[in-house]
Amino acid sequence: MSKFEIKVGNSKIKLNKHFIEKQDAMDNLDDLKSCYRQKLEIYNSIIVDNDPKQFKEFARLLTNLENEIQELFNFEPNVNFHRFWETPKCECPKLDNEDCHGVGIKYINPKCKFHGEEDE
């Protein structure tokens, strides 16, 4: 396993070495890997957990992690660049969000247990 890979259960992420170099973030590699490991662990928890009450908390933790990852890549934390729709079981429209990524427009399915409205 390369030092840029993170594996949790059956999920695996490989970080982009060239991107890390471009962002001058190689000193943060261990912290980045720790953040991505936590992200995969949360994804795995979501897959096995069917308690919707937990989902808002998972969404909050993922947002915090995304901000931390951006900082470790030497970016300003910016929620407009979070790929929140990639969360397992997220019901927000993926293609629309993909198209508008980074411009500050979010397509939220009100029924999404992570990003939709608070409990009715």
CB of 75 to Zn ion, least distance (A): 23
* Residue (32 or 46) nearer to Zn ion, CB: 46
* Residue (58 or 114) nearer to Zn ion, CB: 114
CB of 44 to Zn ion, least distance (A): 18
CB of 112 to Zn ion, least distance (A): 3
* Residue (14 or 94) nearer to Zn ion, CB: 94
**What is each CA distance from 60 to 17, 19, 30, 74, in whole angstroms?**
28, 26, 23, 22
Contact 11, 46 (CB under 8 A): no
- Torsion on CA atoms 85, 63, 12, 21, rounded to nearest 10: 110
